[in-house]
Amino acid sequence: MGSYRMDVLVCGGTGCQASNSIDVIETMSKEIKAAGLEKEINLVTTGCFGFCEQGPIVKIQPDNVFYVKVTPESAAVIVKEHFVKGRVVKELLYEEPKTRKKLEEQSDMPFYKKQERIALRNCGLIDPENINEYIAVDGYQALGKALSEMTPEQVIDEVKRSGLRGRGGGGFPTGTKWELTRMSKADRRFIICNADEGDPGAFMDRSILEGDPHSVLEAMAIAGYAIGADSGYIYIRAEYPLAINRLKIAVKQAYDMGLLGKNILGTDFSFDIHLKYGAGAFVCGEETALINSIEGGRGEPTVKPPFPAEVGLWKMPTNINNVETFANVCPILLRGADWFASIGTEKSKGTKVFALAGKVNNVGLVEVPMGTTLREIIFDLGGGIKNNRKFKAVQTGGPSGGCITEENLNIPIDYDSLTEIGSMMGSGGMIVMDEDDCMVNIAKFYLEFTVDEACGRCTACRVGNKRLHEILTKITEGKGTEEDLERLKDLSQIIKDSSLCGLGQTAPNPVLSTMKYFWHEYLAHVNDKYCPAGVCKALLKYHIIPEKCKGCTLCTKVCPKGIISGKLKEAHVINKEECIACGACEQVCKFGAITRM
């Protein structure tokens, strides 16, 4: 191994690959060779840095320079300027939107400043396809420690004391889950890693698997040791090809190194890991549905109890944790339960990864201590609302969660506080909405998702949620009545009460929470046939402000219905009856004379 004087870390996550990071890596590699620097500079493809909005990301160490939005062309410039001449390429630095200052170091950026990375600790730091790098950052030490210095009970106790709770949405205490599975009498037990990430907008599990797959494998083996399982399954959606590929490489490397398989690290403990591919059905994130799917059946939930900890895969006790939960396990074992428990709030320990999306400046993945406020996440890390629009609400918990408004932005968030204000942690999706978002439409959007993703097994969800969606559609089309609002509320409650699984039970949450906080918007749609955000097309009417209209006739030329009339240089008029609200006139008007009402 040569001695490199410089590490160049280029993001190879799905997000950055989508913005061409593969070409960046290729160009860089070529240019480094051309400059004769290949023995001095180590080009590393890493996992996701989280700052997807600014991708592709290139980080230079030890110089600690963070380049954003790197193109193949600018990659060549970095080589020539930075690598050869030692000059930082200022144009490629991140510019803080408020101060317009170029920031050189990652740690200076508001996006990273408040982050505390435990689950994402190795993402963007190591080459996920090289097990040696994982070993170099204490990889498999936690497994080694567990196997040689701890009893299974001690491992469970450590996880219990850490206060780690399930990161997939439920928030069930992980150590307790392990203990319950261990206590179920059986000949065999299984570990399942739930990598069937399905919330729209959430991609932390994918990022962890892409950026640090070994951390999950190691934690699964530790869980296997703790509960007495000799094999584990990773249930991953087939739409995650990169994560699957990296997992495959990682599993092979771990087997080759004797870190999986028979007699791990010379002990009596053996553990196998198998990959199972899901077809990407949201409902398969539900434990019993996931188990049915692994067994080759239809991905449909079954009645609980019995819980998988008692009767799970192949009818054996099975412990299911999601990817992010597993990613927290090794640090807990290495740094101790007390360290982990010192982070976070009273009942929610450690950190949580959120996928920040929607109308926020810094879209991406952030990991913050439990107890951080939504305001900090959205306005500090997220850099505030795009285009200086006004914040309206943030949806947490994906389609199963609810929306949170301005008044609750200062609440330190954890599992319990979010539930209290009518939303939920979920898997950590966070979609920010501004004043241009119609909340009725948002509720409809989420419901459409769950209606599409429902398994169709139980009446409450299959027909009930469909009917909810139909009522919402009716309202957004301006055909709703106050009676419909009553129906919406009633039916939502009943579905929550009556559905077989979590998907159905939580599907009406977006409806209930938007009704709670934005009742006036519902009323406006129903009574005034008016969409305050101007989103619902059927309720939109365009209007020309006579004072502003110069009579340029441009709008008459683009109107597809030909219903704008008026003489040259005189104020024009739109025939509202026939207007289809396509918005073409508004877009072309140079005088701001056309408004929605």
Based on the shown chain and the rule CB under 8 A, indicate whether residue 271 belongs to the binding site for other proteins: no
Cα 252 to Cα 555: distance, rounded to the nearest angstrom:
63
- Contacts to other proteins from residues 427-456, by CB under 8 A: 451-456
Whose Cβ is closer to other proteins: residue 462's or residue 541's?
462
Element (H, E) at 434: strand 429-434
- Cβ contact 386:356 at 8 Å: no
- Contacts to other proteins from residues 276-295, by CB under 8 A: 281
Provide the pairing of β-strand 58-61 with 391-396: unpaired
**Which residues, 6 or more positions from 136, have their beta carbon under 8 angstroms from its beta carbon?**
126
Nearest to 293 by CA among 306, 307, 310, 280: 280
Based on the shown chain and the rule CB under 8 A, indicate whether residue 460 belongs to the binding site for other proteins: yes
Cα 566 to Cα 550: distance, rounded to the nearest angstrom:
11
- Cβ contact 93:59 at 8 Å: no
Nearest to 175 by CA among 319, 327, 351: 319
The three-state secondary structure class of 120 is coil
- Contacts to other proteins from residues 142-201, by CB under 8 A: 144-145, 147-148
The three-state secondary structure class of 124 is coil
CB of 453 to other proteins, least distance (A): 7
Q: Which of 31, 158, 300, 521 binds other proteins (CB under 8 A)?
A: 300
CB of 36 to other proteins, least distance (A): 9
Based on the shown chain and the rule CB under 8 A, indicate whether residue 258 belongs to the binding site for other proteins: yes
Stretch that binds other proteins, among 222-230, 257-265, 340-348, 371-379 (CB under 8 A): 257-265
Based on the shown chain and the rule CB under 8 A, indicate whether residue 463 belongs to the binding site for other proteins: yes
Based on the shown chain and the rule CB under 8 A, indicate whether residue 48 belongs to the binding site for other proteins: no
Cα 474 to Cα 462: distance, rounded to the nearest angstrom:
19
Whose Cβ is closer to other proteins: residue 306's or residue 532's?
306
Token output for 259:
């870190």
CB of 19 to other proteins, least distance (A): 23
Whose Cβ is closer to other proteins: residue 236's or residue 455's?
455
Whose Cβ is closer to other proteins: residue 17's or residue 288's?
288
Q: Which of 105, 272, 406, 435 binds other proteins (CB under 8 A)?
A: 105
28 HSE (CA, 13 A, CB side): 30
φ/ψ (deg, to 5) at 318:
-140, 135
CB of 373 to other proteins, least distance (A): 25
CB of 500 to other proteins, least distance (A): 6
Q: Where are the alpha helices (DSSP H) in 80-129?
A: 85, 110-113
Cα 326 to Cα 571: distance, rounded to the nearest angstrom:
65
Q: Which of 22, 77, 137, 552 binds other proteins (CB under 8 A)?
A: 137
**Which residues, 6 or more positions from 526, have their beta carbon under 8 angstroms from its beta carbon?**
475, 480, 481, 482, 484, 485
Cα 41 to Cα 48: distance, rounded to the nearest angstrom:
21
Stretch that binds other proteins, among 298-306, 345-353, 523-531, 570-578 (CB under 8 A): 298-306
Whose Cβ is closer to other proteins: residue 505's or residue 556's?
505
Based on the shown chain and the rule CB under 8 A, indicate whether residue 482 belongs to the binding site for other proteins: no
Nearest to 408 by CA among 429, 422, 398: 422
Q: Which of 464, 508, 510, 534 binds other proteins (CB under 8 A)?
A: 464
The three-state secondary structure class of 84 is helix
- Cβ contact 45:246 at 8 Å: no
Whose Cβ is closer to other proteins: residue 460's or residue 593's?
460
Q: Where are the alpha helices (DSSP H) in 35-163?
A: 72-78, 85, 110-113, 131-136, 141-149, 152-162
CB of 357 to other proteins, least distance (A): 24
Whose Cβ is closer to other proteins: residue 290's or residue 393's?
290
Cα 201 to Cα 358: distance, rounded to the nearest angstrom:
9
Whose Cβ is closer to other proteins: residue 348's or residue 465's?
465
Measured distance between the N- and C-terminal CA atoms of the chain, rounded to whole angstroms: 68
For residues 149-178, b (16+ Cβ closer than 10 Å) or e, as one string?
Answer: ebebeebbbbbbbbbbbbbbbbbbbbbebb
Cα 289 to Cα 504: distance, rounded to the nearest angstrom:
13
Q: Which of 52, 103, 125, 594 binds other proteins (CB under 8 A)?
A: 125
CB of 537 to other proteins, least distance (A): 21
- Contacts to other proteins from residues 3-22, by CB under 8 A: 3-7, 9
Based on the shown chain and the rule CB under 8 A, indicate whether residue 382 belongs to the binding site for other proteins: no
Whose Cβ is closer to other proteins: residue 281's or residue 421's?
281
Based on the shown chain and the rule CB under 8 A, indicate whether residue 25 belongs to the binding site for other proteins: no
Q: Which of 40, 96, 157, 435 binds other proteins (CB under 8 A)?
A: 40
Q: Which of 80, 114, 188, 467 binds other proteins (CB under 8 A)?
A: 467
Based on the shown chain and the rule CB under 8 A, indicate whether residue 61 belongs to the binding site for other proteins: yes
Q: Which of 49, 140, 271, 391 binds other proteins (CB under 8 A)?
A: 140
Stretch that binds other proteins, among 91-99, 133-141, 230-238, 430-438 (CB under 8 A): 133-141
Token output for 285:
């994130």
**DSSP string computed for 210-223:** HH-HHHHHHHHHHH
Q: Which of 26, 73, 87, 416 binds other proteins (CB under 8 A)?
A: 87
Based on the shown chain and the rule CB under 8 A, indicate whether residue 462 belongs to the binding site for other proteins: yes
- Contacts to other proteins from residues 208-247, by CB under 8 A: none
Based on the shown chain and the rule CB under 8 A, indicate whether residue 330 belongs to the binding site for other proteins: no
Whose Cβ is closer to other proteins: residue 347's or residue 496's?
496
